[in-house]
Amino acid sequence: MRRGIDALEKMPLDQFDEAFREYYHALINPERTKQEYGITEGRVEFEGEPRIALIMKGFCINDENEVVEVLPDMYIYYSKEDIEETYTTGTPASCSEGTTQITPMVPPFVEVPEDFVYPEDFRGFLINNLICQIRDVYRNMGEIPPKQYDIEGYGKPKGNFDRDEY
């Protein structure tokens, strides 16, 4: 994940914009994403209105920590307010041999802050998610993360640690 952070940091902003614009729009407009992916009442595995819990979008990096491909589809977890089980839709894609897959995984935005500037702030948002995923790996092993990874934000959706304890 650290290599993925490096790759995003050095990716030219115009390439980042082109590669991740669809992901950004899916996160800021989950209602449209639900329609596009068929996550609507009557078309899902349960009765009632589904909600998107998490949207994932992977990218592939080479040994030089350069983004060589952004996977074409998103993978979406959805559920309903009163049930704990989650369901998925989308294509769980993977990178070609010789590259490493990095996957930001975040819930949809509740509200986009007024001062949020796309694409600059979105790149920072994805980097924050990857740093938080590293933090959560440490916590899942029962360890305290190094200071540079022990930051606020959304990381891994599940772990065997108590998220409220940290």
From 129, 118, 120, 123, select the one nearest 153 (Cα to Cα): 129
- Would you state the pLDDT for residue 159? 53
Q: What is the pTM of this model?
A: 0.90
From 138, 126, 90, 105, select the one nearest 17 (Cα to Cα): 126
- Would you state the pLDDT for residue 158? 67
In 12-66, where do the E strands start and end?
51-56, 59-61
Q: What are the pLDDT digits (tens) for 142-163?
A: 999 999 999 999 998 765 444 4
Q: What are the pLDDT digits (tens) for 90-146?
A: 987 789 999 999 999 999 999 999 999 999 999 999 999 999 999 999 999 999 999
